[in-house]
Structure 1
Amino acid sequence: MKNQQDNQWITIFAVMAVVLIAIHYLLELKVFNPWDDYIPFLKKLSLSLFLIALIFLISKIISKIVNNKTYLEGDRYNLLRIIRFLAIVFSLTVVVSFLFESFYASIVSFGLFSLVVGFALQAPITSFIAWVYLIFRRSYLVGDRIQIKGFRGDVVEISYLDTSILECSGDYLVNDRRSGRIIRFPNSLILREEVINYSGSEVPFIWNETPLQVAFSSDLQFVEACLLNAARNDFKERYPQLDSQKNEKWEPAVYFRVNSYAWMEAVISYPVEPEDTTGRRNRILKYALPLLNEAPDKVQFPEGTLR
């Protein structure tokens, strides 16, 4: 679908470029001599429009090449944004050149205009500079789950001035599922706040843990074995291609600790995709609890007055 749209725009800009350059040279014909006063203006206008059409034609061709390459979603998004931005900048330069007699005068005027606008629009300009910083520093990409200043969600758009994320958790949820709300914040926020990116060195996983209260008299080896089997089986079913690699860094682990209610906690620590934390915890518990409940002589849970 995206390639089809690119092909349509490439055709449109190519036809526009051919027509405009043809008009530019046709204006030299003697048949247009009665309009000698308007010919220089029309020739300059047609040439300017031809250059703008050519700029966008080249940008669409490059965009098509980028879309056909196997770049990561975030990298592809940033490259397309840069291409679009450069096309707009070059087109504005052509427009300013059309308005002024010389290219040098247009550059000077554009610089003075930018200086005046810079003082009036400091906040948007700061956000734009932050966008440039994001492109090169890659603090986060489209598709990453991030947390910044209390906001947490999945990045869906990084525009020139702001970032949009699909909120996770939020005011109405206590899990990591998407709330359905969209949060937009200015890019300038990343220059003064810390950014937590869940797509870290353990991509595609982060580490999560789930505690389970058991009595001190429980068979801890049996509890550990049940929890490990639950985590391993779920990992194998969910990621068969990764499980076959036997990567030790993604092996789950169990440790025990004493909580404030005089019960022991068996804590299973496991790798999980950021958007699957709630689902993976549920699957592990659904698998482990029946095994533990089947052995009441080995495992006791808090119940009744024994809480």
Structure 2
Amino acid sequence: MNRRLGYGLLLLAGLFTAASGAVRGFAFAPLSGTYFEVPLDVLLAQGLLVAAVGFAAYGAYLLVFGFAASRTTNKRRLHDLRNVLRFVFIAAALVGVLAVATRQYVGLLFSLGIVGFAVTFALQQPLFSLIGWFYIMVKRPYQVGDRVSIEGSKGDVVEVDFLVTTLWEINGELVSSHQPSGRIITLPNSVVLSSHVHNYSWEGFPFVWNELTVQVAFETDLEFARELMVEEADDYLGDRMAERIAAYRERLAETPVELEVRDRPTVNVVQQESWVELRLRYLVHPRQGSRVRNELYERILGRMNDNPDRVAFPVSRSR
């Protein structure tokens, strides 16, 4: 459908161009007058050329984007390509329209430079947001589909436009535990130039480390409790975590950072004032964090309740 429309718009642009030439080449009696001291035939011819430029730019955009869309099914790449093509063709169409309307093709470049210098002062924030969009396209701090946190706002990126980034909020004031709140957050792209961007699911490695904490009494057999937690986590996560760790090590190998990374879940012991915390550490996709934590907690708590002689809970907690 888009290709047919694109070809149709290009054909229409050709017809408008031919009509403009006909108006210039032939003297029509109804067009012998003037409008604000501009001959009507010249005014009509210029108007037809302006329309032809607009139709040609939009038709070419549809054809180029349609060709690219038929070569890939990656929604992220298509989203970014669509925005880049829009920017290129809109800029080209504006330059073409101004050039045709003023018939000053060389002087237009100097005029654009002067106007651009003035616009820089008048529209600083939109300009910074446009620069931020270029930075996002080149450096890729995030892209559509990523889960990010920017200036205290956290959510999933659903749109990266020329000036703003749109998030589907998670957490926030209404919900917790990394659940969607149903609200939309709009951020100017300029924030990436001056703020920290936390990306939880970037394309290179879309996983994060997560922790599940269980509080037990000092009388607990800590070795047994630790092994119990590791067994349940290993049984639940299976070989998926080992595969993710392998990918994680490959990413680490590309950097000068040296870390000890284990293939399986681990448990750290932290002593508190009147109890001991057992912190299970494992790798998970950020959008599955709450579900995985809940299911692991139910499995671990069930096993611990089955062994009251080896696992004791703090006195302040009911079993």
TM-score range, shorter chain: 0.7 to 0.9
The structure 1 residue matched to 2:313, chosen from 290, 301, 304, is 301
Partner of 2:15: 19
The structure 1 residue matched to 2:226, chosen from 219, 224, 227, is 224
Q: Aligned partners of 1:180, 1:121: CA distance in 2, in Å?
A: 32
Cα pair 2:76 2:143 within 8 Å, conserved? yes
Partner of 1:279: 291
Partner of 2:107: 105
SS at match of 1:48: helix
- Structure 1 residues 101 and 192, CA, compared in 2 at 3 Å: closer, same or farther? same
Cα deviation, 1:132-153, whole Å, max 9, x if unaligned, reads: 1111111111111111221111
SS at match of 1:111: helix
Q: Aligned partners of 1:176, 1:82: CA distance in 2, in Å?
A: 32
Partner of 2:214: 212
Q: Aligned partners of 1:24, 1:99: CA distance in 2, in Å?
A: 13
- Structure 1 residues 257 and 183, CA, compared in 2 at 3 Å: closer, same or farther? same
- Structure 1 residues 231 and 306, CA, compared in 2 at 3 Å: closer, same or farther? closer
TM-score by length of 1: 0.85
Deviation of 1:202 (Å) = 6.6
Cα deviation, 1:90-138, whole Å, max 9, x if unaligned, reads: 1101111123132012222222222222211111111111111111111
Deviation of 1:167 (Å) = 1.3
TM-score by length of 2: 0.82
- Structure 1 residues 97 and 11, CA, compared in 2 at 3 Å: closer, same or farther? same
Deviation of 1:170 (Å) = 1.0
Decide which moves more: 45-54 or 207-216.
45-54
Q: Aligned partners of 1:306, 1:87: CA distance in 2, in Å?
A: 67
Cα pair 1:23 1:46 within 8 Å, conserved? yes
Matched to 2:84, the amino acid is: I
Cα deviation, 1:200-229, whole Å, max 9, x if unaligned, reads: 487221111111112333333432333223
Deviation of 1:177 (Å) = 0.8
Q: Aligned partners of 2:269, 2:245: CA distance in 1, in Å?
A: 27
Decide which moves more: 28-37 or 198-207.
28-37
Show the 5 A alignment for 1:22-33: 22-27=18-23, 32=28
- Structure 1 residues 87 and 71, CA, compared in 2 at 3 Å: closer, same or farther? same
- Among the aligned pairs, what percent are the same residue? 28
Q: Aligned partners of 2:318, 2:85: CA distance in 1, in Å?
A: 65
Show the 5 A alignment for 1:117-132: 117-132=119-134
Cα deviation, 1:25-64, whole Å, max 9, x if unaligned, reads: 5446758476465444433332332233222222112211
Q: Aligned partners of 1:305, 1:95: CA distance in 2, in Å?
A: 74
Deviation of 1:165 (Å) = 0.9
Decide which moves more: 195-204 or 22-31.
22-31
Show the 5 A alignment for 1:40-59: 40-59=42-61
For structure 1, the residue ranges without an aligned partner over 5 or more in a row are none
Q: Aligned partners of 1:14, 1:305: CA distance in 2, in Å?
A: 74
Cα deviation, 1:179-207, whole Å, max 9, x if unaligned, reads: 11111121111111111111248722111
Decide which moves more: 219-228 or 245-254.
245-254
Q: What's the Cα RMSD here?
A: 2.8
Deviation of 1:303 (Å) = 4.2
Matched to 1:98, the amino acid is: V
Cα pair 1:254 1:266 within 8 Å, conserved? no
Partner of 2:270: 258
Decide which moves more: 114-123 or 41-50.
41-50
Cα pair 1:152 1:169 within 8 Å, conserved? yes
SS at match of 2:97: helix
- Paired residues in the alignment total 299
Show the 5 A alignment for 1:71-110: 72-110=74-112
